[in-house]
């Protein structure tokens, strides 16, 4: 069988905004460095994502000189910068899914920019190192913690899986519809479903749970527009318990650096 090679790494500093493709990243306690440490919340301090606000896809994100630069892809709006190092904000108790987390609120200037862009009241918050949000006990191995990601710090998808899907679609879609952290080449379509434990570079991961797909993959990440694909096609052959599955969630054993081009060693396969 041909080798599995890590071909792309993505981080999403602000949850549901554009991802950033990187060549190298550090695997930290709660995920890749910078990944989903920032979050938008509403007036009730409840998290906001592309599920409710597809235009979040239109905010291009970059990290330059210890600041996060936010820029709208389409609207002619001045970009805004946010410091990545942040410890002095007002503490807010924010809700993400079933979890309540202590987060730090930035400031009203950033909120005004975001509220203007989305035509909706919202606030930007940051998850400080002191906040510990735990992975679901059903899947956790050692009380792992997670950022503002949905439930797990890492999502992996094989390029062959996307190619297989695109062969069934009238119009092919890019991998950004599925917002993975890791993409790999090699193997057969849905090779990731067969894996139980892997090693990427020097980092060992357990492959713990298939990813249930919500409406976000139907959102064009360049326009914010939605249609029925690819969920309509996927529902014909990727449904388990009435949920469409695409990609696998991972939990790390150790910390360190990971790079595009790293070989993915299969340590254990599922029965």
Q: How many CA atoms within 13 Å lie on the side-chain side of 118?
A: 27
Is the whole-model pTM more than 0.95?
yes
Q: Please, which pLDDT band fits residue 86 given cuts at 50, 70 and 90?
A: confident
Does the structure show a pLDDT above 70 at 19? Answer: yes
Residue ranges of domains in the chain, CATH in brackets: 4-31+138-269 (2.40.33.20), 36-126 (no CATH)
Nearest to 20 by CA among 75, 68, 52, 77: 68
Whether a cis peptide bond, with omega within 30° of 0, leads into 188 is: no
Q: Cα 171 from chain centroid?
A: 24
> Which residue in the block uniquely carries the two structure tokens 């096609």?
233
Q: Mean pLDDT across the stretch 183-201? A: 98
- What pLDDT was estimated at residue 1? 58
pLDDT tens-digit map of 140-179 = 999 999 999 999 999 999 999 999 999 999 999 999 999 9
Q: Please, which pLDDT band fits residue 190 given cuts at 50, 70 and 90?
A: very high
Residues 120 and 115: their CA atoms lie apart, in Å, by 5
Q: In percent, how much of the chain has pLDDT > 70? A: 100
Region for residue 86 given its phi and psi (left: phi exceeds 0; alpha: psi -120 to 50; beta: otherwise): beta
Nearest to 47 by CA among 72, 16, 77: 16
Least confident of 34-43, 85-94, 118-127, 241-250: 85-94
- The whole-chain average pLDDT of the chain stands at 96
Q: Please, which pLDDT band fits residue 87 given cuts at 50, 70 and 90?
A: confident
């Amino acid at each position: 069988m041909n080798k599995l090679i890590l071909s792309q790494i993505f981080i999403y500093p602000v949850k549901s905004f554009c991802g950033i493709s990187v060549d190298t990243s550090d695997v930290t306690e709660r995920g890749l460095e910078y990944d989903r440490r920032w979050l938008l919340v509403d007036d009730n301090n409840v998290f906001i994502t592309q599920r409710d606000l597809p235009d979040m896809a239109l905010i291009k994100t970059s990290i330059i000189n210890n600041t996060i630069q936010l820029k709208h892809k389409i609207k002619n709006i001045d970009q805004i910068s946010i410091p990545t190092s942040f410890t002095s904000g007002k503490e807010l108790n924010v809700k993400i899914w079933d979890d309540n987390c202590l987060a730090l609120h930035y400031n009203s200037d950033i909120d005004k920019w975001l509220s203007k862009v989305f035509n909706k009241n919202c606030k930007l918050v940051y998850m400080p190192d002191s906040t510990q949000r735990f992975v679901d006990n059903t899947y956790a191995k050692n009380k792992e913690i997670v950022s503002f990601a949905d439930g797990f710090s890492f999502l992996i998808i094989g390029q062959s899986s996307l190619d297989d899907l695109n062969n069934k679609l009238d119009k092919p879609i890019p991998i950004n519809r599925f917002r993975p952290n890791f993409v790999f080449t090699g193997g057969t379509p849905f090779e990731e479903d067969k894996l139980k434990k892997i090693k990427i570079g020097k980092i060992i991961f357990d492959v713990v749970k298939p990813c249930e797909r919500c409406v976000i993959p139907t959102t064009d990440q360049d326009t914010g527009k939605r249609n029925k694909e690819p969920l309509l096609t996927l529902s014909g052959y990727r449904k388990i318990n009435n949920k469409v599955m695409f990609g696998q969630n991972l939990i790390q054993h150790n910390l360190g650096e990971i790079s595009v081009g790293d070989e993915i060693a299969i340590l254990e396969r599922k029965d």
